Structure 1
C-alpha cells in the first residue's frame, strides 16, 4: 500500500526566502523519509497554489494526499480557506482522497531550536549581557495556539530565569515595541527577541527591523527547515494519514486488494 503524498501548505510571500525555506524543508523530509512522496504548495502570493498542486497530483494518478499546514501559531484550527480548497478538489477529482492535518503549531520541542537560533544571534552581535526575552510570532493563532504561545513564553522564561513577554507581528496582539516597553518598565535593558517564525517573510522583516531600531540587543533568525520542524511535519502527516485508511467498525483494515491481508489498526501505522 503506497503512502499518501504529503503536501506542505505554506503561507505565501513575495519574499523568496519563504519559497527557499519550503524547498529546503521538502529536501529535509526527503532525506528523513525518502519513501514518502512530498511536495510544497502555497495559500497565497506564490505558486503553485494548493489547488494547483492537488490538480497535478490527481493528474499523476495519486489517489491519497495529506495536506499539512506549515503554521506555527495555530494549534488546532486550520485556515478557513482549506475548506473551500478541499471541496473544490473533491468535486474536480472524486478519485482523490484528501486529509488536512492539524497545523504544525507551537510545540514545546521548538523551544530548543529557538534557543539555538537565539544563541547564534547573540554570538554574532557579541552580546555579553542579557536580562529580558521576547518571543515574537507572526500572529496570535487560534484560541489553543494563543494559550500555548503564552505557555511557551513562560517555559522559556523559567528555563533561562529571565522575564519573557510575547509579541506578534500582524497587529492582532502586543507589538514587539510594546513588549520591549513592558520589559523596560521592569528595569530590563538588555533584551533579545526570539523569532517564532517559519521563514523570514515580510512580517518577520518588519518586526526584526523594529526591534533593532528600538534597542534589542539581538533578533534571532526564523526557525527555518531544521530537522525539528520536519519531524513535526511528519508527525502531523502520520496522524492525518490514518484518517485515509479504510477500517470497519471493529477496527479491521479493509483492503481494496483481495490478496492483501487484513490487519487491525494496531498494526497499520505511518511512523513519524
Structure 2
C-alpha cells in the first residue's frame, strides 16, 4: 500500500460527530483516488490513533501522513496527538501534518455555510459576523482565532468578532451577538468555527437563538473547501518528508 493518510478527529459522545467525519473522509477519498484514507479519534470514538496506525501497518502501509482535523494548534495538536504517535508501529514512517487553521479556505467554507443559511452576497457590508469556536484554554489558540476574525473582517464584513461556547472561555456567542446589536449592526450572522456537530456546537446554536441572531451557519462538516485544505496539508507534509529524505 505504501503511502497513506490518517485523519485524526477529536471524537465525541454525539454520534453526529463520527458521521460527519465519515462523510468528510468519503469526499477526500473521491477527490484523491488511489490514496488510502483512514480515520482515528483522540477520544470517545474508535479507533484510537495507535489502533488506526496499527491497522494501516497490517494492511501494508509503510509511510503515513497524519492530518489533525483540528482548527488550531492547541493542546490536542501539540501534546495529545504527538504522544499518541509515539506509540506507532516501528515499521511505519509517520509524519504529522499542520493543523487546518488558519487558512483562507476555512473562511471560504464559513461563508459557504452562511450563504446556505440564507445570507445573500449583497448583504455582506451590512452584516456583522460572530466567529464562534468551541473554546480553548490555550492563549495561542485564542489569539489565532482573533487573528482569523480580523483578517476575515477585511474582506468586507461590517465586523467579525470571536466568541466561544465552552463555559470557561469568554466572551460567549450570545454576549457577542448582543454587543454587536448594541453597536448598531443591522444584521448579525453566527458562523460556527467547528468541524462537526456535538454538545458545544449545540451551545453555539442555542446562544445565537437566545440573542436573536439573524442567521446561523452550519458546522464546517464535509465542505469542499475543507476537502481541498486537507489534501493541501497532506501534500505539504509529504513534500517536507521527501525533502528531508532526499
Same structural fold, with TM-score higher than 0.5 when normalized by the shorter chain: yes
Q: Which residue of 1 aligns with 2:147?
A: 151
Q: Which residue of 2 aligns with 1:256?
A: none
The 1:196–1:118 alpha-carbon spacing in structure 2 relative to 1, beyond 3 Å, is: same
Is 193-202 or 173-182 further displaced after alignment?
173-182
Q: Which residue of 2 aligns with 1:266?
A: none
Is 200-209 or 159-168 further displaced after alignment?
159-168
The 1:75–1:232 alpha-carbon spacing in structure 2 relative to 1, beyond 3 Å, is: farther
Write out aligned runs for 1:85-104 (5 A): 85-89=84-88, 93-104=89-100
Q: Which residue of 1 aligns with 2:206?
A: 209
Structure 1, gaps ≥5 residues long:
254-272
The 1:15–1:35 alpha-carbon spacing in structure 2 relative to 1, beyond 3 Å, is: same
Shift of 1:247: 5.2
Counterpart CA distance in 2 for 1:79 and 1:114 is: 25
- 1:200 touches 1:222 (CA, 8 Å); kept in 2? yes
Partner of 2:162, secondary structure, is strand
From 141, 151, 162, the equivalent of 1:166 is 162
Shift of 1:66: 1.1
Q: Which residue of 1 aligns with 2:118?
A: 122
The 1:147–1:123 alpha-carbon spacing in structure 2 relative to 1, beyond 3 Å, is: closer
Structure 2, gaps ≥5 residues long:
none
Write out aligned runs for 1:25-174 (5 A): 25-74=24-73, 78-89=77-88, 93-122=89-118, 131-140=127-136, 145-170=141-166, 171-174=168-171
The 1:74–1:18 alpha-carbon spacing in structure 2 relative to 1, beyond 3 Å, is: same
Q: Which has the larger radius of gyration?
A: 1
Structure number with the higher helix fraction is 2
Partner of 1:241, secondary structure, is helix
Counterpart CA distance in 2 for 1:180 and 1:210 is: 9
Instruction: Provide, for residues 95-137 of structure 1, a one-character-per-residue CA deviation record: whole Å limited to 9, x for no partner.
Output: 111111111112112222211211221369xx9x964221111
Shift of 1:178: 2.1
Write out aligned runs for 1:158-197 (5 A): 158-170=154-166, 171-188=168-185, 190-197=187-194
Instruction: Provide, for residues 120-170 of structure 1, a one-character-per-residue CA deviation record: whole Å limited to 9, x for no partner.
Output: 21369xx9x964221111234865544442233223333334122110122
1:5 matched to 2:4? The reply is: yes
- 2:192 touches 2:204 (CA, 8 Å); kept in 1? no
Partner of 1:245, secondary structure, is helix
The 1:156–1:247 alpha-carbon spacing in structure 2 relative to 1, beyond 3 Å, is: closer
The 1:161–1:94 alpha-carbon spacing in structure 2 relative to 1, beyond 3 Å, is: closer
Counterpart CA distance in 2 for 1:238 and 1:163 is: 34
Counterpart CA distance in 2 for 1:141 and 1:228 is: 27
TM-score (norm 1): 0.79
TM-score (norm 2): 0.87
- 1:130 touches 1:192 (CA, 8 Å); kept in 2? no
Partner of 1:63, secondary structure, is strand
